[in-house]
Structure 1
Amino acid sequence: MIHVTVQRVESEKPLYIQVNPKDNMAIVANAGGLPEGTVFPCGLKLLQNVPQGHKVALADLNPDEAIIRYGEVIGYAMSAIARGSRIDESLVRMPTPPQLSELPIASSLPQTIPPLDGYTFEGYRNEDGSVGTKNILGITTSVQCVAGVLNFAVKKIKEELLPRFPNVEDVIALTHTYGCGVAINAPDAIIPIRTIQNLAQNPNFGGELMVVGLGCEKLLPERIVPGGASDQIVTLQESHGFMPMVRSIMAMAEERLDRLNRRKRTTCPASALVVGLQCGGSDAFSGVTANPAVGYAADLLVRAGATVLFSEVTEVRDAIHLLTPRAVNEDVGRALIREMDWYDDYLQRGSADRSANTTPGNKRGGLVNIVEKSLGSIVKSGTSPIAGVLSPGERATQKGLLFAATPASDFVCGTLQLASGINLQVFTTGRGTPYGLAAAPVIKVSTRNALAEQWHDLIDLNAGTIATGDATIEEVGWELFHLILDVASGNKRTWADHWGLHNDLALFNPAPVT
């Protein structure tokens, strides 16, 4: 549970936020930061200028003394730090990550919370039992070689065919950089291959599978299509000229557009939602405002029977000791550890470690290291038991809160969550990013009032009001829950969809490229 203490003086209005009573530091909440000499009601006096989101020592700290935020050690003082001093990255020595062999498993399961009944949304039912929040034709590629032809064809489809099918929202090309010039049988090749396979079956595509291949690639189109049905594949090397290629794609697309156009939204239970959670451009407010509110909404979704995915291995690794106790059983706990261990080895092979995650923007936003970032990131998962674990690119087949292992990269994480079957994503940001996905609506939640004001036509929900005491975590969590239902129903449109801001798919391919 997050406990936020806000210290303010109404006339001057200086604010700081202490997340946990155990914390010996706090962050400055004021949009312009606070100058040297500022005094808070508790008597704390700033010894330096402290920018918004950056840290101030609440007590004198000795060299090597633990620096605590969220009630957890985020580092150790490199030298003596006086009360009221600014704590920046240069003063903090990062701790070692939790030992994976010593983690408690399924030892602290949350209490059972009553189900949340009666919540619905208007979605598109699919034959496999899944439900779409959009009605889109997604055309998959088996190899990057065909991307130019498909993009040309999609442009013509949108101009010449799509206006005849008003119930179809969009036509998108699922292009990527995989398919050939790769070690197709290497063990880790299963990650990009199953990602492509599962992307094609995202519930927002209505089960209308269509693959464009070249004809000589290593990833044969038949491996993407269940059963290898040839009537779902266009092979460009079989065409006599460029325009016949385009006409073949358009003819197959037209058949699918006709079927998709007959689909109508119907009332579906909230349990049909599969919601991905992600953060990007994180700052020191992420773990105080937006992520706790998302975590509260995640708990509501789980209570309503939905599936919720949280991800980003390097933003979980340093807080894994807080997650394995929430695993529903030993198998799920071991699966969490397995994914952390695999990623440790992956980073080691690249002569990197989890500290490579933190960006310059994260640091400008007040985060000193990946440990602090991780502790703020995992709050998105709420308090529900962790019901299952997905390896990268695996499709979700169960309800509840799931950890879907992905890199923290926004684009790769989004791609892998789409492969896992999300029909909507919630994305928190402190520094700001225009990120979006063509295949699923992305609700962007800001951590700060200043960002929501600056990007008034890009941010869908502002959680910054939590930091100023104008709203509670619970209030913003409920607001987000209702917004999710409205967006899933098509009643509200996200800003990313309004502007057509959609990032390219980015596969995770740890296997060799030949």
Structure 2
Amino acid sequence: MVKNPTIRLDANDNVVVAREEIPKGAQIEAEGITSLQDIPLGHKLATRPIKKGDPVLKYDTIIGFAGEDIEPGTWMHSHNVLMDSFAKDYRHGQDYRPTEILPPDERASFMGIRRADGRVGTRNCIGIFITVNCSATVARRIANYFDEERLADYPNVDAVVPFVHEQGCGMEMTGEPMDLLRRTLSGYIRHPNIAGALVCSLGCERNNLQRFFETEGLETGKSIRTITMQETGGTAAAIEAGKQAIREMLDEANAVTREPCSAEHIMVGLQCGGSDGFSGLSANPALGKAVDILVRNGGTAILSETPELYGVEHTLTARARSPEIGQKFVDRFTWWLEYNKGKDTQINGKVSPGNNAGGIANIIEKALGGAKKGGSSSVNEVYLYAEPVKEHGLVIMDTPGYDPVSATGQIAGGANLICFTTGRGSCFGSYPAPTIKLASNTPMFQRMRGDMDINCGTVIDGDATLDEMGEEIFQRFLDIASGVKSKSEELGVGEDEFIPWPIGALG
């Protein structure tokens, strides 16, 4: 059976997507057109005449406006699909439909780690945190000491991980910058995947250790220890004191057993990076199907990367649980548009070179695909960066589009899994919440098998449906939440991907 070389997403669309490379002069029988140029894999071509200034429609949604009069068969990309502002009807909450949650005895389960406060972890790590970059070397040296050989006697401890960053001093003390850093650090320290935490400080930094603990309501004890380098005697003494503190935490951290837990305790941070023209057709909507299943099972998914949702935000505000929640989301876009005024950033139209080469014309088209990671569930809340996520179901967290910064905020908010879609290929990983990577197309999956967990390209190939892929992804949620290692974990990737949002002035 010869497969149609193009993919039509909606009957109202005036473009289709090339399933394969289409040479100039090829007959597209299903559309009754002839290609007027070579059409790269994952790119678009027009299916009917489009007048200059008229909307270009994909998924029956405006992704831009024709920059010239367009003939059927024309290659449609950033050179002739122009971004412009247009009126959006936010329809706050008008499409809200509460999800029917399965009864507790019918929900899926996984083998999780139940903590004393009732939260459930998917991993069991000891974290070494720093208040300021001045203590980064101490944290890394302590963590490096506890290598695979030394942890062999503690089979239930997944890793001793240093969480280092570049902030903590020479920055604004009041308002958003310091609040963001402290909220992020405390979110990780309290995370259900962290069995014990060691917090290292220099002693004179603006992010003062004592003030940090007071502000965030943290207290030292068996599972939270602190070291101040200036008081301990310097670098070498702090490293030795840190090793001893970790040794004292290991026995208790190891004394855990996995037990059956409801899928309602799974919280997935949704990410996409290195997107291509297929991301919005396969990996993203397939992940959306898995999210809908998770939500029905009482679980939680966090949609983020706010600048990369610009242009389709009205499709999400319409699904908000209340007009107030919808307006919260719009308020964040107002902040982003002001913050990026006059800057060469994605929210002002231009996507990354890799996105563009993969078939994405502008940020609206990218947003259209990115939003599909959230499935069809209603939006139950909107959170600031790294705020604790307390609502179940689909929620939104305001984060930058830069993947490591965005995922860091989601994990600080409580995500115990990250699911990352990619079309061009990503090598991302994360601690203490493992990352599951989904490939949007088969050629990339085959080229990067060592990094990819699931091939959603079978949807493009015509060998699987989105519903089937959604079921497979949801099952992988359960497996990896139960302790099966993801590809990034097998590679040991994730230690350097802890990047709190560095907003604000430095001085």
TM over 0.5: yes
Determine the structure 2 residue equivalent to 1:217: 205
- After the TM superposition, which of the residue ranges 230-239 and 406-415 deviates more from structure 2? 230-239
**Corresponding position of 2:489:** 497
Per the TM alignment, residue 140 of structure 1 is displaced from its structure 2 partner at its CA by: 1.1
Deviation per residue, 1:248-267 (Å, 9 max, x gap): 10111112211110011111
- 2:19: which partner in 1? 29
Q: 2:148, 2:206 → 1: CA distance?
A: 33
Aligned equivalent of 1:397: 390
- RMSD across aligned C-alpha pairs, in angstroms? 1.8
Cα deviations by residue, 1:418-451 (Å, 9 ceiling, x for unpaired)? 1111100110000001111121111100110111
The answer as to whether partners of 1:381 and 1:401 remain within 8 angstroms in 2 is: yes
CA contact (8 A) 2:90 2:315 kept: no
1:6-17 map, 5 Å: 10-11=1-2, 13=3, 15-17=5-7
Q: Distance in 2 between matches of 1:223 and 1:306?
A: 34
Give 1:209 shift.
2.9
What residue in structure 2 maps to residue 311 of structure 1? 304
For the residue of structure 2 that corresponds to 1:366, the secondary structure is coil
Distance 1:227 1:64 in 2: 55
Task: State whether residues 54 and 66 of structure 2, in contact with CA within 8 Å, keep that contact through their aligned partners in structure 1.
Answer: yes
Cα distance between partner residues in 1 of 2:299 and 2:137: 38
CA distance in structure 1 between the partners assigned to 2:135 and 2:177 by the alignment: 24
Structure 1 residue 109 corresponds to structure 2 residue 102: no
Q: Does 1:344 align with 2:337?
A: yes
Name the CA shift for 1:65/1:343 in 2 (closer, same or farther; >3 Å).
Answer: same
Deviations 1:109-146 (A, max 9, x none): 13643527231000111122211111100111100000
Alignment of 1:113-262 (within 5 A): 113=100, 115=102, 117-158=106-147, 161-206=150-195, 208-225=196-213, 227=217, 229=219, 232-262=225-255
For 1:197 and 1:72, locate their aligned partners in 2 and report how far apart those are by CA, in whole Å: 40
- Whole-angstrom CA distance in 1 between matches of 2:403 and 2:256: 31
Call closer, same or farther: CA 1:86–1:217 in 2, change over 3 Å: same
SS in 1 for 2:381: strand
Residue correspondences, number: 498
- Any residues of structure 2 matched to 1:86-101 within 5 Å, and which? 86-96=75-85
**Cα offset for 1:98?**
5.1
Deviation, structure 1 residue 159: 6.2
Gaps (5+ residues) in structure 2? none
| Aligned match for 1:433, one of 426, 429, 433 | 426
| Cα displacement (A) at 1:340 | 1.6
Q: 2 CA distance for matches of 1:370 and 1:173? A: 35
438-447 vs 193-202, which moves further: 193-202
- What is the rounded CA distance, in whole Å, between the counterparts of 1:228 and 1:54 in structure 2? 51
| Partner-residue secondary structure (3-state), 1:90 | coil
Q: Distance in 2 between matches of 1:353 and 1:366?
A: 15
- Measured against aligned partners, the alpha-carbon deviations of 1:451-490 in whole angstroms (never above 9, x if no partner) come to 1111122111111111122111000000100111011001
- TM-score, structure 1 normalization: 0.93
Q: CA deviation at 1:341?
A: 1.6
Distance (whole Å) between structure 1 residues aligned to residue 236 and residue 309 of structure 2: 49
- Taking the aligned partners of 2:180 and 2:387, their CA distance within structure 1 comes to 8
Contact 1:143/1:214 (<8 A) preserved: yes
Aligned pair partner of 2:256 in 260, 263, 286: 263
Indicate which of 459, 462, 471 corresponds to 2:464. 471
SS class of match (1:181): coil
Residues 1:300 and 2:293 are matched in the alignment? yes
1:168/1:230 CA distance change after superposition, 3 Å = closer
Q: Is the 8 A contact 2:128 2:161 kept in 1?
A: yes
Structure 2 equivalent of residue 320 of structure 1: 313
Stretch deviating more after TM superposition (269-278 or 76-85)? 76-85
Q: Do 1:315 and 1:373's aligned partners in 2 also have CA atoms closer than 8 Å?
A: yes
| Alpha-carbon shift at residue 246 of structure 1 (Å) | 1.1
CA shift for structure 1 position 194 = 1.0
For residues 124 and 328 of structure 1, what CA distance do their matches in structure 2 show? 31
Identity %: 33
Letter in 1 for 2:146: I
Distance in 1 (CA, whole Å) between partners of 2:274 and 2:50 is: 30
Distance across 1 between alignment mates of 2:208 and 2:86 = 41
> Is contact 1:196-1:224 (8 Å) kept?
no
Counterpart contact for 1:110–1:383, Cα < 8 Å: no
- What TM-score comes out, normalization by structure 2 length? 0.94
Three-state SS of the structure 2 residue aligned to 1:309 is strand
